[in-house]
Chain A
């Protein structure tokens, strides 16, 4: 009896499984075919228009004049009645029909539906929409591998023609970046933001320096001495040993984060980036010849007890907290945080600390940072199914103007804010919009990452000290590094394993009692065997192709 039941259940399960599988392999719908054929979608739509135009030409003149038709009919879609859906990663949901969105629609003569999703769910939402052939018209490609994936799936539109015809601001603002992107050769699939990111500064408490009669450190030796004094010489003068020199957190160190980035720079290492070795091999920053020297120096700081000891476990916000509460006197972060966004209300001491920025030089005068980049695979992309590419071009063009950037960041002028001194970047928020929550609900700030120009409002409205810090960091971006704008097959396959090995290596090097060189050699061997060597070979090949894009 039991045997019979089992047999019935087994047969049922098989039937259900077969049904499920057959469901997956059904016939492709026309829309799926379109998505699969990728860039064919807009061109086929355009081709349809061209054919119709050709027919009318034939009827009127008696013979086909395809060249005339091609000149008069644009090769992009321009249905102004179609709503443009934009998927934006945002930490705030503004009101559904907010003032900024209304103004953006008015300025660009478009209908826009902006979907805001918080950062952690952005890729889930986007991937689901793509898989269901429900691709948003405009969305953010976060890296080269994603871009490569979208291109291979054929879901992106080439925007070159429409941007050249309708978006002069975009062409002007991105003229230096677009040629560096391999995927954009003779096309524009990716529209990068044009703003320059903020590299990390060495932010140091100058009130503590004054209390201890110390100068701003300028090299590795003086930096170590200042950190030592901040830890052991009671810089806050409260008679208790409750301060440390430097605060950091592991996740910002092991990856391409900002911690110790200037210190690695003093050893000539562009932390988090690729480097070219003397023999022409392109590899990762941790295989730079000076890597061991830099790690020995950092380990020396830890052994001296000048680094805030919770670094192994604390998350980023707690690291900031160490700085805000006067437990640490130095932090590596871009100046906009410590000297602008947090100043002075996040600091718990009264009076709040005074801050300065250091440039740390190595033994041979080496210093600097790699250019902070969003990544040349990151930028806005347009769906091949978009029915109003011309509308998208108008939106991009407006957003990449000063007026557009101000709207997206500050809101509607004279309604939500007014300029006090535009040159100095001083603004005053009006009425209820003084309240951040109300301002964001009305759409202020929320969409400010959309097609950002080279001089965005967030930079123009920085406080003077923060601007000084940002400028110093930009001036310090002198380290050479290798940027590849092609997707790596090896990283796609083994990337997370390779990263895991390096995270483990760095963590162990900061904590071990073993010989650092032994630890380093062991992990690097494992990394190379896991895919590192193959990746180096791949990157070296890519660099041969792309080197000229950078010169």
Chain B
């Protein structure tokens, strides 16, 4: 069968061209801020001060990156953040799945009550001070547990996953039950393998929020050995320009880097891991979020 070639009318071609141009502009507007940050961070501070657009580094230098990695603390903070992101995301996924699956089973007794109870936490939270008191009473202050346990279950993510599980045809589970599978078997061998897209999305959600988490590190942790990267980097960019550099002999070396360059470097370091992870997971991302959000 020969293919019928559809010939576009001039009007369609023009509108397609306009749409493409608009899309290119939108892509540029979306991507340029990140590019600007990266190029600025790779530019010499003095050359960068004149402002304007940055399509490439002006007088390429890595001095700000070198300054950042010269301290022991950044490696400690980086290790803590990576560990927190990996462990907290892993445990969160387990707890979320173990909560979402039973709640997706229509016949479960008390299901509605539990859902309302969890839903309530989406509307109201304890507030900073009661939460601090709770964490203090649980002896989690200044421990790594504070990064893992309090935020282990997100009600929002749990409901998305529950909706996803509900969208899986009941007949699959019923046939497994006829073959003698328990609920745990169904979850492990039927539901989870079918939920890769949803889990990729959840990993993305939890991973990004764990990586970006900041206030936990500020409020609940005083020990520098448990400091998170975000807290360390935030401190670096919170500088008063007038007082930010030492006077004396090392002045020239330190003043050669402006606060703006340091900020750009910090932003680049913070965002880069998220962009890398997203590029691997993005194909699942839209799929996962659509399936999880729309109930058939």
* Chain A interfacial positions (CB closer than 8 Å to B): 5, 9, 12-13, 16, 23-24, 85, 90-96, 113, 115-121, 124-125, 128-129, 131-132, 134, 316-317, 320-321, 324-325, 333-334, 336-337, 340-346, 348, 410, 417, 425-429, 433-441, 444-445, 458, 461-463, 466
B133 at the interface (CB under 8 A from A): yes
Bound CA span A4–B225, Å: 54
Enumerate the 9 nearest inter-chain pairs by beta-carbon distance, A residue then B residue, closest first: A96-B224, A436-B254, A441-B71, A337-B242, A118-B238, A345-B255, A118-B235, A131-B129, A115-B222
The 8 A CB mask of B112-143 against A (1 = contact, 0 = none) is 11001100100000001110110010000100
Check A93–B235 contact: CB distance below 8 A.
Answer: yes
Check A345–B256 contact: CB distance below 8 A.
Answer: yes
> Which of B77, B113, B133, B235 has its CB near the most chain A CB atoms (within 10 A)?
B235
Check A435–B250 contact: CB distance below 8 A.
Answer: yes
Partner of A341, one of B46, B120, B242: B242
Check A134–B225 contact: CB distance below 8 A.
Answer: no
Check A348–B49 contact: CB distance below 8 A.
Answer: yes
Check A125–B219 contact: CB distance below 8 A.
Answer: yes
Check A95–B244 contact: CB distance below 8 A.
Answer: no
Contacts of A116 in B (CB 8 A): 224, 235
Partner of A345, one of B117, B128, B247, B252: B252
Check A461–B248 contact: CB distance below 8 A.
Answer: yes
Check A320–B241 contact: CB distance below 8 A.
Answer: yes
Partner of A92, one of B120, B129, B236, B241: B236
Check B248–A128 contact: CB distance below 8 A.
Answer: no
* Chain B interfacial positions (CB closer than 8 Å to A): 46-47, 49-51, 67-68, 70-73, 76-77, 112-113, 116-117, 120, 128-130, 132-133, 136, 141, 218-219, 222-225, 227, 231-232, 234-236, 238-256, 258-260
Check B247–A124 contact: CB distance below 8 A.
Answer: no
Contacts of A342 in B (CB 8 A): 245, 255
**Given A91-B235, A134-B136: A461 in contact with B71 (beta carbons within 8 A):** no
Bound CA span A96–B50, Å: 38
Check A436–B67 contact: CB distance below 8 A.
Answer: yes
Contacts of B256 in A (CB 8 A): 345
Describe B's contact surface by its main secondary structure: helix
Partner of B235, one of A92, A337, A441: A92
Contacts of A94 in B (CB 8 A): 73, 224
Check A118–B219 contact: CB distance below 8 A.
Answer: no
Contacts of A321 in B (CB 8 A): 49, 51, 260
Interchain Cβ contacts under 8 Å between A and B, 16 examples: A91-B238, A91-B239, A92-B236, A93-B73, A93-B77, A93-B227, A117-B218, A320-B241, A321-B49, A343-B255, A345-B256, A433-B250, A441-B72, A441-B73, A445-B246, A463-B247
Check A436–B218 contact: CB distance below 8 A.
Answer: no
Number of A-B contacts (CB under 8 A): 163
> Which of B120, B250, B260 has its CB near the most chain A CB atoms (within 10 A)?
B250
Bound CA span A336–B179, Å: 80
A sample of 16 more A-B contacts (CB under 8 A), given A425-B248, A435-B253, is A9-B116, A24-B130, A91-B240, A92-B235, A113-B222, A116-B224, A125-B219, A128-B129, A128-B219, A132-B133, A325-B49, A427-B249, A436-B253, A438-B70, A438-B71, A462-B247
A116 to chain B: closest residue by CB = B235
Bound CA span A461–B77, Å: 33
**Given A345-B252, A434-B249: A120 in contact with B238 (beta carbons within 8 A):** yes
Closest approach, in angstroms, between the C-beta of A304 and any C-beta of chain B? 25
Bound CA span A316–B120, Å: 43
Check B250–A341 contact: CB distance below 8 A.
Answer: no
Check A461–B247 contact: CB distance below 8 A.
Answer: yes
Contacts of B219 in A (CB 8 A): 124-125, 128
Bound CA span A438–B74, Å: 11
B224 to chain A: closest residue by CB = A96
> Which of A95, A116, A118, A441 has its CB near the most chain B CB atoms (within 10 A)?
A118
Partner of B132, one of A132, A320, A410, A427: A132
Contacts of A458 in B (CB 8 A): 247
Bound CA span A316–B241, Å: 8
B119 to chain A: closest residue by CB = A9
Contacts of B73 in A (CB 8 A): 93-96, 441
Closest approach, in angstroms, between the C-beta of B181 and any C-beta of chain A? 33
Bound CA span A12–B116, Å: 9
Contacts of A410 in B (CB 8 A): 248
Check B136–A132 contact: CB distance below 8 A.
Answer: yes
Bound CA span A344–B256, Å: 9
Bound CA span A271–B112, Å: 63
**Given A91-B244, A95-B72, A438-B71: A119 in contact with B238 (beta carbons within 8 A):** yes
Bound CA span A93–B130, Å: 27
Bound CA span A466–B239, Å: 21
**Given A93-B232, A95-B73: A348 in contact with B50 (beta carbons within 8 A):** yes
Contacts of A91 in B (CB 8 A): 235-236, 238-240, 244
Check A95–B241 contact: CB distance below 8 A.
Answer: no
Closest approach, in angstroms, between the C-beta of B138 and any C-beta of chain A? 12
Check B116–A346 contact: CB distance below 8 A.
Answer: no
Closest approach, in angstroms, between the C-beta of A191 and any C-beta of chain B? 22
Contacts of B241 in A (CB 8 A): 316-317, 320, 337
Bound CA span A102–B287, Å: 55
Contacts of B71 in A (CB 8 A): 95, 437-438, 440-441
B238 to chain A: closest residue by CB = A118
Contacts of A95 in B (CB 8 A): 71-73, 224
B242 to chain A: closest residue by CB = A337
Bound CA span A417–B251, Å: 13
Bound CA span A128–B136, Å: 11
B227 to chain A: closest residue by CB = A93
Bound CA span A325–B250, Å: 22
> Which of A121, A124, A441, A445 has its CB near the most chain B CB atoms (within 10 A)?
A121
Bound CA span A23–B134, Å: 11
Contacts of B258 in A (CB 8 A): 317, 346
Bound CA span A434–B252, Å: 10
Check B218–A124 contact: CB distance below 8 A.
Answer: yes
Partner of A428, one of B231, B244, B249, B252: B249
Bound CA span A321–B128, Å: 38
